[in-house]
Amino acid sequence: MSFELFSLRNIVVLPFVISAAYASEECWRAEGFASLDAFQQQQRDWSRENIPLPAPWNIVAAYQIYKTEQADVRKSFRNDKQMHCYMGCRIAQDVNFVTAQWAAWKKEERDLNDCNSETHFETLDYQVTVIGAHYAVTAKTKEDCRDPCIQNF
């Protein structure tokens, strides 16, 4: 399973690829859906989420946090949910909540549309990342982000 929160390349390229994914039988099968209709319905539902777009410099700042901490995160946590939680907290801690929420949404949008069987769309990943972003309200250090994520996930 790949844990790439988002990348600048995907922010620019993915919108142009999504329309091709809508019609691709290989894509909906790779994404684990039972039918093209179910896949397209999930794409429509996810695109209707009303997630505010953060300022571009905040997206860049979030990406830098992700790239800086990515290797340590993979080694430090037992599971995917702990990683999502921690990155949500760290992005909200150093940037803001809106950016962390958007990054969580964008990561799952990418997973839904990347036609890659190694990644998978999961609304719970989004929800856990947002829970982590809420932990940032009281987090003063990285450990303050890490500890509740390990304890709760």
User: What is the rounded distance in angstroms from the CA atom of residue 138 to the CA atom of residue 71?
Assistant: 25
Nearest Cα to 55, choosing from 109, 96, 115? 96
Place of tokens 């990943």: 125
pLDDT tens per residue across span 82-113: 999 999 999 999 999 999 999 999 999 999 99
pLDDT over 70 for what percent of the chain? 84
Residues 6+ apart with CB under 8 A from 116: 2, 30
pLDDT tens per residue across span 121-144: 999 999 999 999 999 999 999 999
Measured CA angle at 131 (ends 123, 151), to 5 deg: 110
